[in-house]
Amino acid sequence: MRDVRGIFAFRRAPMPGTIERVGIAYLGGPISTEPRINERIRVPEVRLVGPNGEQVGIVSIHDALKLAQEADLDLVEVAATARPPVCKLMDYGKFKYESAMKAREARKNQAHTIIKEIKLRPKIDPHDYETKKGHVVRFLKAGDKVKVTIMFRGREQSRPELGFRLLQRLAEDVTELGFVESQPKQDGRNMIMVIGPHKKKAEAKAEKAAAKAQRGDEELSEPEE
């Protein structure tokens, strides 16, 4: 039978002639992703690591907290599942700040690839073709990849060369802005080709994203010494 202790809290037996009431104590809540620090670490002993990574060894929690206080540092639990838990002496405020800055830097250096999609029919009329090509040009100028899909219907499926020629034509028309990253290939009833922007366009987009992230860095202020 499931142990429900800690979930249900029962009052003492009621007096005769009264109604018994049962109280339910909910012990849940949002799970914190922050490590336990200082007095929040409630274990008898820990494996202590010094501020420079040196191994101090297994010490009592009392001694670990005392060492942290003497060094004007925090005791931070870095491996809660270890037995005993591993704790490190560090300036936790500075550590959080540097971690946030590293995360922002990683996001700035990451190029976010967006793939746009254009769908064509193998027997598309000239006006519609120019319109679709205009969309491809705009996407490539913005530094985005373009997935071009030729949709075959009915008897058109017996003429895959029509789709292949159309994709070749489109690739040649936008060759100054992009290159064929994925050659035309059949995918069920469709034929697909991917055109990627030239490197300079992609770099320009990445720089734009980095500038946007840089503006967000201004919201972070360095902790006081």
Please check whether residues 156 and 93 belong to one and the same domain: no
pLDDT band with cut points at 50, 70 and 90 for residue 3: very low
Average pLDDT for 166-186 = 94
Distance CA 141, CA 136 (A): 9
Same domain, 131 and 172: yes
pLDDT tens for residues 53-109? 999 999 999 999 999 999 999 999 999 999 999 999 999 999 999 989 988 887 776
The CATH number covering residue 72 comes to 3.10.20.80
**Looking at the predicted structure, is the pLDDT value of residue 179 above 50?**
yes
Q: Is residue 174 part of a domain?
A: yes
Identify whether residues 128 and 185 lie together within a single domain: yes
Residue 42 has pLDDT above 60, yes or no: yes
Residue 166 near residue 118, CB atoms below 8 Å: no
Quick check: is 28 in a domain?
Answer: no
Say what the pTM is: 0.44
Does a structural domain hold residue 7? no
Q: What is the CATH number of the domain that holds 128?
A: 3.30.110.10
Domain identity same for 138 and 190: yes
Domain-embedded: residue 104: no
Does residue 6 fall inside a structural domain? no
Contacts of residues 128-133 at CB distance under 8 Å and 24 or more positions apart, as own/partner, are 133/170, 133/173, 133/174
Domain count, the chain: 2
Mean pLDDT for 145-153 is 95
Residue 210 belongs to a domain:
no
C-alpha to C-alpha distance for 64 and 42, rounded to whole angstroms: 12
The stretch 160-173 carries a mean pLDDT of: 94
Stated length of the chain:
225
Domain enclosing residue 68, as ranges? 38-97
DSSP assignment of 76-125 = EEEETTSSSPEEEEE-HHHHHHHHHHHHHHHHHHS----EEEEEE-TT--
| Residue 3 covered by a domain | no
Residues 93 and 135 placed together within one structural domain of the fold: no
CA distance 202 to 121: 28
pLDDT at 159 over 60: yes
CA–CA separation, 32 and 37 (whole Å): 12
The CA angle 173-136-188, to the nearest 5 degrees, is: 95
Q: Is 133 in the same domain as 181?
A: yes
* 81 in the same domain as 54: yes
pLDDT score for 5: 45
What does the H/E/C string look like for 140-180? HHCCCEEEEEEECCHHHHHCHHHHHHHHHHHHHHCCCCEEE
Residues 119, 195, single domain; the answer is yes
Assess whether 76 and 130 both reside in one domain: no
